[in-house]
Structure 1
Amino acid sequence: MKKSLLGLTLLLSVTFVAEAQKKKIDKKFNERAAIADLTYLASDELKGRDPAAPEMSMAYDYISMQLQDAGAKPIPGADGYFQNVPFRLSSPPSKGEFTIGDSTYSQGVNLLVLDGQALSGTFELVDVGFGTPADFEGKDLTGKIAVSSVGAPDRMGPADLFSLGSEKTANAKKQGAVALIERFNIPSIPWELVANYLNRAQMTIDNGDESPLPYMWVKDLSNVLPKEIATGKAKSAKLEVEGKNNTPVDGKNVVAWIEGTDKNLKNEFVMLSAHYDHVGIGTPDAEGDSIYNGTRDNAIGTVAVMNAAKFFAKNPPKRSVLLALWTAEEKGLLGSRYFAENPLIPLNQLIYNLNIDGAGYNDTSVITVIGLGRTTADDLVSEAVAEFGLKAIADPAPEQGLYDRSDNVNFAKEGIPAPTFSLGFTAFDDEINKYYHKAGDEVDSVDLDYATLYWKSYILAAQKIANSEIQPMWVAGDKYEEAGKKLYGDK
């Protein structure tokens, strides 16, 4: 009887605390101000928040001002509320051709010159497999073109293709190569889609190289090139890349922190992140609108992190909170990748990343959590969502590879548990595609009552995780479990 009474008392206590937390968020959340933030960030004035456009400064200045006004503090080592990110914008060449025997690959058709300088001449080809460090080791590539497959056997996500391309280019140059050509041979991704998206100026992280190596993809779905190289049929090739322009771009991640209240747990951080960029100006729609406002993707997520800053600055949890608004997600997850490679806080102190991003929604009764089921904090996220009358569901469209298409993956690869908190969708259907990277993604097309529940749920989920006595980890058997053990130790 006494045990039953004790259990009931504990249950009532937990329920009371949970209800008190929800009520405080309800009371403190300023819906009108949040909608005003959303309206500004998704306004035509910012012209779609292209990270290479001058209007981007209006976005990052506004966000940093909001974090400062909220009371969040600059991170030591940052430039005020910014982490400066050096980018290079590389335009398509005026001419790009790669000729092997009777076959010619042409820019925009079956060749994409993604980065580097102009280069013309006839060069020997060397197949380097997937272009891993081991593949390059001991090879003299002086004056030759290195040819590899895109990605790696276990890394074929969109972000992997570009980040690995940068690594391979650096290794190819170190071994004396004059260019790196990667064979695009992923049948599940239509080349036409790739060519349409990449046959435009490409942004990369600038590592300070004054003579970047030419880097390109060729369409080779049938794996013809390695056979021709192996048999000597394609021992050398003619390359003509002309009219290549590279322009430096100053990028900025917006970062801040809020100190936790627990003397021990405050040395651990829950990172709340969202990308604030979008795709800028594109093809006009039927009404002639060419500004892709990016309300759903990802002004809504940006406003969630800004409002989390406002709440936690006045109601700090036990753990510290890192607030991170990334630039250039739409260019290949570049801002978050730069932070992961150049962290302002040691990565092993970041015990969880609750990222927020999304393409849109088609069900306002749910929140879709990309990665639900993969960390031990899942129950806390689900509880927070349920307290606002919604239901947390797992990724309903795994074929889209969404986990690997958002900033969270750059931290998951390091071992940090990192799901993405997305607007509710039950399928990647026409209702999603109606607004995803479209000019129609404006504030007046959004259910703002649902957006408010989304914002509040996100704050409550973050609060529960930041107050938990138990550090979240990957569930046993997850692909990132070993990376987590390496980062934090075998806890």
Structure 2
Amino acid sequence: MNVKLLVSALLLSTVAVPALAEEPVFDPQAVRAHVTFLADDLLEGRDTGSKGYDIAANYVASQFIAMGLKPAAADGSFFQKLTVREARLDGAPKLALTYGGKETVLSDTAQVLVRPSLTDAKVAIDAPLVFAGFGFDRPDLGFNDYKGLDVKGKIVVVLTGFPKGTPSELGAHLNSDKAMMAMKRGAIGVISVPTIEDTARRPWDKRVTMFDGPAKGWVGADGKAFTRTTGIKGGATLNPDAAALLFAASGKSLDKIRSEANRTGGKPKGFAMKARASLSYAQTWKDVVSENVVAMLPGSDPAVAGEFIGMTAHLDHIGVHGKGEDMLHNGAMDNASGVATMLEVARAVAKEKPRRSVMFAALTGEEGGLIGSDYLARNPVVKGEVVGLVNFDMPVLTYMFSDVVAFGAENSTMGKVVAEAAKKAGIKLSPDPMPEEGLFTRSDHYRFVQQGVPAVFMMTGFEGPGEKAFRSFLKDHYHQPSDDLKLPFNWDAGALFAKVNYYTVMGLANGAERPQWYAGSFFGKEFAPGAAKAADPGK
């Protein structure tokens, strides 16, 4: 036997066949440990700009350090600092409606709700009213609510939501863009009236609770709060009961208009109202400093290391407020569970050498209007380009799930990666079970979508016990003090959620091609018109 030849052959075979990488093990108790710390009473609900939030931010940064990740902020730290403005009403707002030769003054929250302005210390507008249906000005998409209407210098009255039968993600986007569409038509104010569907989902008393708190937004280097709708000087939401007389004065029945809007495809037509409105209110401002906690893992392939896959989860919650014995909102599920699973995915990814670089971000100000994500998306910290993003927000971990939902999956090639990741984790990918909620536009990933970045936002699915558990959480615990550690957490579900997200992130980071919008995706065409597109599935 030639021993030298045998040894040489063995060595060559060792080089030719690399050792298989070990599958990561996700420890349920590690997820539990993160949630237990982040949802503790000592952090007082992690409100943006609070000491409790700062403690949580330092906790996340310490975890990034232990993983060996690199700080990504411009000053060489893990903290991207930003100024957040909190605006509160200074006294009761006043909405004076003039119709039928009489003036009706509304100021009670039972009739009218006003969000304070972030840009003007005092608001005072007086103008004629024009009803514009749902307020959609996109003839290219079949929405032409402003046809024949002159709203320049006027206040537009619109219904909340979007026409029934509209794809939920498209409708949610257009709904969030109403003020922008009104501004482009020359309007100076917007008054919203809830639809029948919206009222059923959010009765007026719940809407009052939602408005109880400051408006928030990030402040630029010039000291001015950022806004996309500089021309809209004021706005309000009007109780349908109070709005009925306003419509009647123009010879229109609000009940009939709302009933038409409640039918599939119903699009009430607009008209110039025989009325005008005077809206005035003042606010006080408080600016606080908060931070996004951002780290990165450099890619191993120089050809694509400048392409980043982003992982985001909001770290903030809504703090201490309200009435009753327990006013502390711990935010255990929203979003300590999301941060906890993101950290465990980050720990596993940090042990690998993915081709593309990965950015990890725990974000501030989500509850105030996706503030930290908007700031990060518009003020990038990585020296490269974020080409795809996975967002972790409020996975409901009270049951062992057998499917996941990935909002946005159908819009880009990321959907195929998520489906493969779910299969690898022993579960499946399901379609959106709550299209009426428009969830795709309501979490941090959407601010990156608006900058042209394909993204997915995953949640635990509705199969088996899922729907009952998820809807129960939304009904009884969402944004309530009871979202705390006394919930029946299933920590094994937390480990499984981390696993499917790990496979997703690694699939994107090691993929042959960067994520691409599908050619037929509205969001790809709207926000990344010049980007290369993938052929639509099945074509």
Structure-2 change in CA distance of 1:42 and 1:345 (3 Å): same
Other-structure match for 1:438:
480
Other-structure match for 2:289:
250
Amino acid at match of 2:63: Q
What is the CA-CA distance between 1:420 and the residue it aligns to?
0.9
- Of 318, 321, 346 in structure 2, the residue corresponding to residue 309 of structure 1 is 346
Unaligned runs of 5+ in 2: 1-16, 139-145, 251-269, 535-539
Structure-2 change in CA distance of 1:429 and 1:230 (3 Å): closer
What is the CA-CA distance between 1:200 and the residue it aligns to?
2.4
Other-structure match for 2:112:
111
Other-structure match for 1:182:
191
Whole-angstrom CA distance in 2 between matches of 1:145 and 1:344: 41
Conserved? CA contact 2:308–2:358, under 8 Å = yes
What is the CA-CA distance between 1:32 and the residue it aligns to?
4.0
Structure-2 change in CA distance of 1:210 and 1:353 (3 Å): closer
Conserved? CA contact 1:257–1:322, under 8 Å = yes
What's the TM-score once normalised by structure 1's chain length?
Answer: 0.79
- Of 391, 403, 411 in structure 2, the residue corresponding to residue 355 of structure 1 is 391
Whole-angstrom CA distance in 2 between matches of 1:231 and 1:170: 17
Other-structure match for 1:46:
43
Conserved? CA contact 1:364–1:424, under 8 Å = no
Whole-angstrom CA distance in 1 between matches of 2:73 and 2:214: 34
Structure-2 change in CA distance of 1:181 and 1:156 (3 Å): farther
Other-structure match for 2:440:
403
Other-structure match for 2:281:
241
Conserved? CA contact 1:268–1:350, under 8 Å = yes
1:178-207 C-alpha deviation (Å, 9 max, x unpaired): x73433454432261333201322212334
Other-structure match for 1:200:
213
What is the CA-CA distance between 1:324 and the residue it aligns to?
1.6
Amino acid at match of 2:189: L
Other-structure match for 1:66:
63
Aligned pairs for 1:62-211 within 5 A: 62-75=59-72, 77=74, 80-101=77-98, 102-116=103-117, 117=120, 119=122, 123-125=126-128, 146-147=155-156, 149=158, 165=179, 180-190=189-199, 192=204, 193-207=206-220, 208-209=223-224
Whole-angstrom CA distance in 2 between matches of 1:273 and 1:63: 12
Other-structure match for 1:421:
458
Amino acid at match of 2:433: P
Conserved? CA contact 2:341–2:494, under 8 Å = no
Whole-angstrom CA distance in 1 between matches of 2:515 and 2:429: 18
Conserved? CA contact 2:401–2:460, under 8 Å = no
1:23-45 C-alpha deviation (Å, 9 max, x unpaired): 4311xx45544432221111111
Amino acid at match of 1:421: M
Conserved? CA contact 2:357–2:509, under 8 Å = yes
- Of 478, 484, 488 in structure 1, the residue corresponding to residue 531 of structure 2 is 488
Unaligned runs of 5+ in 1: 1-15
- Of 315, 318, 322 in structure 2, the residue corresponding to residue 276 of structure 1 is 315
- Of 355, 371, 380 in structure 1, the residue corresponding to residue 417 of structure 2 is 380
2:35 counterpart SS class: helix
1:368-389 C-alpha deviation (Å, 9 max, x unpaired): 2232444323333233333333
Conserved? CA contact 1:369–1:419, under 8 Å = no
Conserved? CA contact 2:307–2:386, under 8 Å = yes
Amino acid at match of 1:260: G
What's the TM-score once normalised by structure 2's chain length?
Answer: 0.72
Q: Identity, % of aligned pairs? A: 24
What is the CA-CA distance between 1:463 and the residue it aligns to?
0.9
1:486 counterpart SS class: coil
Conserved? CA contact 2:85–2:225, under 8 Å = no
Whole-angstrom CA distance in 1 between matches of 2:333 and 2:310: 21
* Structural RMSD (CA): 3.9
1:453 counterpart SS class: helix
Other-structure match for 2:490:
447
Conserved? CA contact 1:329–1:406, under 8 Å = yes
Whole-angstrom CA distance in 2 between matches of 1:305 and 1:362: 18
What is the CA-CA distance between 1:284 and the residue it aligns to?
6.5
